[in-house]
Amino acid sequence: MKVSLTCRVNGEGVCGTIEPSMTLLNFLRHDLKLFGTKEGCGEGECGACTVIMNGVAVNACLVLAVEAENTEITTVEGLSCGGELSTLQSEFIKQDALQCGFCTPGMLMSARALLDRTSDPTETEMKEAIAGNLCRCTGYVSILAAIASTAKTEREGEGRK
C-alpha cells in the first residue's frame, strides 16, 4: 500500500507517493529523476550512493525513502549554485580527482559533509571521511588533494560553497 512522502531535496520541497519498501536511492533516481546519485552495490559497501541527509553523509541505498520524511537531503545536483560550480566541484576538476566519474557524486557528498563539520581536516580525517567511497580508477591521491585545496579556499573565505 503506497504512502505519501514529504521532504526537501536540494532546497526544494518534494512530495511523492511511494511503496514503503522503496529505498531513498531509488526514490531519488526513479521518482525524482535525479540520476547523479549512483548505485554501486546496494549494500552500503561502496558509497556511490552517498547523499547528505539532515547534515550527515549516509548511504541512500540503506535508507528507506519513508525514513527521509521531513528531512533535508542534498545530492550532487544540489552542490552547484546559481548555475556555477561550487569550489569543491571546481577543485575536483582542477586536481583531476576523477576518471570514470561513477564514484564522483558520492565522493563529492562525503567530502562536502566532511568540510561542513570541520574546516581544517587532517589527512587522517579526510581519509576516514572517504574510506567508505570506493574508487577503482584514481588511486585517491588527487581526490584527497582536491578536498585539501577546497578546505583551504573555504577557510580563506574565498570561493563558493
Partner 1 sequence: MPQEHFRHIGKSACRRGARDKVTGQAMYVHDLEMPGMLYAKVLLSPHARAEIVSIDLAEAKALPGVKAILTGEDLPYLLGLYMVDKCILARKEVRYQGEPVVAVAAIDQATAKKAIALVKVDYRILPAVLTLDEALEGKILVHQDINQLDYIKNVFFPQPDSNIASWNKTIKGDVDKGFAEADFIVNNEFSLPAVAHAPLETHVAIAKAHPLSKLVEIWSSSQSPFGVRQMLSKAFGISMGDIRVVVPYVGGAFGGKAGIHLEPLVMVLSRAAQGKPVKLIATREEEFNQLPSRAGMRGRVRSGVTNEGKITAVEVTFDWDSGAYADYGVNVGRAATYSGAGPYEIPNIVVNSRTVYTNKVFSTAFRGFGHLETHWVMERQMDLIAQQLGMDPYEFRMKNILHAGSETISGEIITKYSGRPDQCLEAVAKEIGWTGWRSPEARDDAFKTGKVRGKGVAALQKAPAIPSNTSTSAIMQFDDEGNIRLMLGAVDMGQGSNTVMAQIVAEVLGMPLNKVRVIWETDTDKSPYDWSTVASKYTFMGGNAVIRCAQDVLRQMKELAAQVLHCPVDELDHANEQIFHRQHTHKAIAYKDLGMGYTYENGNGIGGPIIGRGVYMAEGLTYLNPQTGQGLPALDWTFGAHGVEIEIDVETGDITVLKIASAFDVGKVINTKLCEGQIIGGVLQGLGSAIMEGHKFSPDGRLLNPSFTDNKIPTAKDIPTQFVPILVENPQADGPYGARGVGEHPMISVPSVIASAVYDALGINFYELPLSPEKIALTIAKREADLKGQQSALQKE
Partner 2 sequence: MLSEFNVVKPQTVEEALTYLERKDHITKVLAGGTDLLVILRRSLKMPDLLLDIKGIEETKRLEFTSGVGLFVGASVTVNQVADSEIIQRKYQALGQAAQTLGSYQVRNRATLVGNICNASPGADLAAPLLVYEANVHIASKTGRRTIPLTEFFTGVKKTALASNELVVGISLPDPSSGDQSVYLRQARIKGHDLGIVGVAVRLTAYQRFLVAISAVAPTPVRLFALEESLNDQWNSPEIAVFAGEEIQMLIHPISDVRASAEYRLHIAGVLVKRAVALLTMTGGT
Give residues in contact with partner 2 (CB under 8 A). Answer: 1, 3, 19-23, 26, 42-45, 47, 50, 56-59, 61-64, 66-67, 110, 128-129, 131-133
**Cell 532546497 appears where?**
11
Rule CB under 8 A: say whether 103 interacts with partner 1: yes
Rounded CA separation 159/161 (Å): 7
Q: Indicate which single residue of 31, 62, 72, 80 sits in contact with partner 1 (rule: CB under 8 A).
A: 80
By C-beta, is 35 or 122 nearer to partner 1?
A: 35
Structure-derived torsion over alpha carbons of residues 105, 79, 60, 112, reported in degrees to the nearest 10: 80
CB of 26 to partner 2, least distance (A): 8
Q: Residue 43: phi, psi to the nearest 5?
A: -130, 10
Which of 69, 73, 70, 136 lies closest to 102 in space, CA to CA? 136
Q: Which residues bind partner 1 (CB under 8 A)?
A: 29, 34-43, 45-46, 48, 75-77, 79-80, 85, 89, 92-94, 96, 98-105, 108, 126-128, 130-144
